[in-house]
Amino acid sequence: MRRPDLVRDYAEDLSLFEDRRWMALAAFGLVGLVVFVAALAPDYAVYVTTRVALYVIAAIGLNLLMGYAGQISLGHAAFLAIGAYTHTILYTKGAPLLVGVLVGAIVAGAFGFLVGIPSLRLEGPYLAISTLGFQVAVDQLLGRWEALTGGRMGLPVPAPEIFVELSPRVYALLCIAIAALVIVATYNLTRSRIGRAFVAIRDNETAAEAMGVDLVIYKTMAFAISAAITGLAGALLVHLSDSINPSNFTLLDSIELLVMIMVGGLASILGSVLGATLLVTLNHTLTAFRDYQAVAIGTILILVILFEPMGLRGRWLRIKTYFKAWPF
């Protein structure tokens, strides 16, 4: 079942899963994770696992934009914030949880589309600055618009509820399920016509245009999809505490997302998963270092990038190649 060597026609390009063996392995891992969360894990581990699942979603969102479409963004925490606030406001007013989450993602996607418009003229550092401006603007707006957002004090978040109130364990399972869906969906997106257009734009904008790819549509689409996925993560993130405020979504959080995909591996769904897992886990486990926790995390990240410039995914590729070529 090795691909893409054996692709014979266009229909095979459209199949949902390209390799059954890896799919089996992933399903096995997923079942293990579900059992772990549902029965075995202590409460704190459940909390950390939920965060990991949600940051996996957010990192995938950013990686679609930066890794695949090659457009830089320093403002992705703003999309987290938009998803989070939209959902919280709707949910407080009585909308069902999943509807609020979905609308949060859609609103974030709409803002992503708007932020994508400057990318038609700007690139590299200049685009970075324009997205940075968006991040700062959203941060200020959330802090000042007290009637809607509660200002710097933030908003209280009601407990998650779908017909019955969800315990943290059940909520964790919900988040894992959504993360799994996002992984399958985005993985297939990257293999599709749209995904190829993103990579083509990244590799060579001129040639992509000469092939007939409409840059206006596909660049703004990359921003919109990326922002919507990140907004989805933001909306689900609110139920991990009982209130949200603008300080949860600052420039530092944008940069943390950036670090996740750089450490995990650009232009790779697996890389996003590995990067988000590593960073969130580090943030919540190295507490023994107390004041020096930030130093310890920084050191680990520098070492990873130093020894594995392609990110954690590079290590995985090497392991895979080793076994494929075994015994040589």
Segment interacting with other proteins (CB under 8 A) among 6-14, 100-108, 169-177, 292-300: 6-14
Q: How far is the CB of 206 from other proteins (least distance, A)?
A: 6
Helix (H) or strand (E) holding 244: strand 243-244
Question: What part of residues 208-227 is at the interface with other proteins (CB under 8 A)?
Answer: 208-214
Residue 174 touching other proteins (CB under 8 A):
no
Q: How far is the CB of 306 from other proteins (least distance, A)?
A: 24
Residue 123 touching other proteins (CB under 8 A):
no
Number of residues that bind other proteins (CB under 8 A): 24
Question: At a CB cut-off of 8 Å and minimum separation 6, what does 225 contact?
Answer: 61, 64, 109, 112, 189
Residue 318 touching other proteins (CB under 8 A):
no
- 263 touches 299 (CB < 8 A): no
Strand partners, 161: 165
Reduced to 3 states, what is the DSSP secondary structure of residue 52?
A: helix
Residue 325 touching other proteins (CB under 8 A):
no
Site string for other proteins, 15-54 (x = CB under 8 A): ----------------------------------------
Residue 199 touching other proteins (CB under 8 A):
yes
Question: At a CB cut-off of 8 Å and minimum separation 6, what does 263 contact?
Answer: 274, 275, 278, 279, 301, 304, 305, 311, 312
Q: 185-197: b or e for each residue (b if 16 or more CB lie within 10 Å)?
A: ebbbbbbeebbbb
Segment interacting with other proteins (CB under 8 A) among 125-133, 197-205, 286-294, 299-307: 197-205
Q: How far is the CB of 276 from other proteins (least distance, A)?
A: 23
Q: Which of 169, 196, 284, 315 binds other proteins (CB under 8 A)?
A: 196
Helix (H) or strand (E) holding 228: helix 215-237
Give me 78's structure tokens. 């703003």
Torsion sign (Cα): 254, 259, 262, 263? negative
Q: Which of 1, 7, 24, 25 binds other proteins (CB under 8 A)?
A: 7
Amino acid sitting at position 261? I
Which residue, 55 or 218, has its beta carbon nearer to other proteins?
218
Binding residues for other proteins, rule: CB under 8 A, are 4-5, 7, 9-10, 13, 193, 196-197, 199-200, 202-204, 206-214, 267
